[in-house]
């Protein structure tokens, strides 16, 4: 079984250790309500060494994560709840001050847990719809009152229902706004990041402000037709480096991210690839290889405007302009 290094994030208990690789659980099918992320798959992940699981209300995978943790405890794969780190997220339809706490309580019910380790605001916007429908109608999209919502997040941390709170898909401008009034500053910002979308400006800002970055879509979200692409796996620079080192392209991409000092949320439901994705320690990229990766042309993929199919310009223009 692989041993995964840890980093630390701010929390109500001081510096909180976090495994630097998380098992992601978002799929197009799970969001559509088709149960593809099963507890048995997550049990396999625990067996090979994963101890950090990234879920969200909108993913419809919280129940599977909870069942997997319960079964892992029963089987003796883990000895206590504290051996796993659980991240989940506040969906946009609960982005109101009075809805934050009930939303987390519902997530905890799904997860069968008394607390999560990290709770994130999923997107910097509000959706006025009880059930997620795709594409989102323009009339359902509204601006978020971030100060009020952050107060709700801080309440959750004060109550011990989450150890840390943070953000997902937030710009430097938005983070700076929160830092100006936060009693508990955001511990994490989870964003799209890989060698083809390196986020240097945003990650630099986060580092300066002690906000740890988590990278999602580290391999381009391959296999998800709505938002996935093969550009990372087909990148010639990464392929050449992988061949010269006897590694996979995925391992080169993940190792590059690890060397940037970020947490990585990677997803595979194939046991062998799960193992390969953890085999990125004990070796490193050379300065020459890092320089080659730095020169890769940059192109963002997860465009919120595109995924939402909306022209709500006032809200989305700021998000898209700043997330680079």
Annotated binding site for substrate: which residue ranges? 122
What SS3 state is found at 189? strand
Determine phi and psi for 285, rounding to 5 degrees.
Answer: -90, 145
Q: How far apart are CA 238 and CA 219, in angstroms?
A: 11
Whether residue 282 contacts residue 251, with contact meaning beta carbons closer than 8 Å, is answered with no
Rounded Cα distance, 231 and 244, in Å = 20
CA–CA dist 113, 160 (Å, integer)? 12
Q: Mind giving me the DSSP string for 197-259?
A: B--HHHHHHHHHTT-EEEEE-TT--TT-TTT--STTTT-HHHHHHHHHHT--HHHHHHHHHHH
Helix (H, G, I), strand (E, B) or coil at 8: strand
Distance (Å, whole) CA 228 – CA 268: 13
Contact 90, 153 (CB under 8 A): yes
SS3 of residue 56 by DSSP: coil
Classify burial at 193, counting beta carbons within 10 Å of its beta carbon; exposed 0-12, middle 13-18, buried 19 or more: buried
Residue positions annotated with a catalytic role: 59
Question: Taking the alpha carbons of 154, 156, 158, 163 in that order, is the dihedral positive or negative?
Answer: negative
Helix axes 62-75, 39-48, angle to 10 degrees: 50
């Amino acid at each position: 079984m692989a041993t995964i290094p840890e980093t630390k994030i701010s929390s109500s208990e001081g510096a909180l250790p976090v495994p630097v690789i998380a098992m992601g659980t978002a799929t197009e099918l799970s969001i559509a309500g088709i149960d593809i992320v099963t507890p048995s798959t997550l049990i396999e992940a625990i067996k090979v060494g994963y101890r950090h699981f990234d879920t969200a209300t909108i993913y419809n995978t919280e129940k599977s994560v909870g069942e997997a943790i319960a079964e892992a405890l029963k089987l003796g794969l883990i000895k206590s709840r504290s051996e796993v780190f659980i991240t989940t997220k506040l969906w946009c339809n609960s982005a109101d001050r009075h809805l934050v706490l009930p939303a987390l309580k519902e997530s905890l019910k799904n997860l069968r847990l008394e607390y999560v380790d990290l709770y994130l605001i999923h997107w910097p916007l509000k959706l006025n719809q009880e059930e997620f429908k795709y594409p989102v109608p323009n009339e359902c999209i509204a601006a978020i009152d971030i100060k009020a919502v952050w107060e709700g997040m801080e309440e959750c941390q004060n109550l011990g229902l989450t150890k840390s709170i943070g953000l997902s898909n937030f710009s430097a401008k938005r983070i700076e706004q929160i830092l100006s009034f936060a009693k508990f500053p955001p511990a994490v910002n989870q964003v799209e990041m890989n060698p083809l979308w390196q986020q240097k400006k945003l990650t630099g800002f986060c580092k300066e402000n002690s906000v740890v970055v988590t990278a999602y879509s580290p391999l381009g979200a391959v296999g998800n037709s709505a938002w996935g692409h093969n550009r990372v796996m087909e990148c010639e620079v990464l392929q050449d480096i992988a061949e010269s080192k006897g590694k996979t392209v995925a391992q080169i991409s993940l190792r590059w991210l690890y060397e940037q000092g970020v947490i990585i949320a990677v997803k595979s439901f194939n046991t062998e690839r799960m193992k390969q994705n953890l085999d990125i320690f004990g070796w490193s990229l050379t300065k020459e290889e890092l320089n080659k990766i730095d020169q890769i042309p940059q192109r963002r993929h997860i465009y919120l405007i595109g995924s939402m199919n909306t022209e709500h310009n006032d809200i989305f223009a700021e998000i898209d302009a700043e997330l680079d």
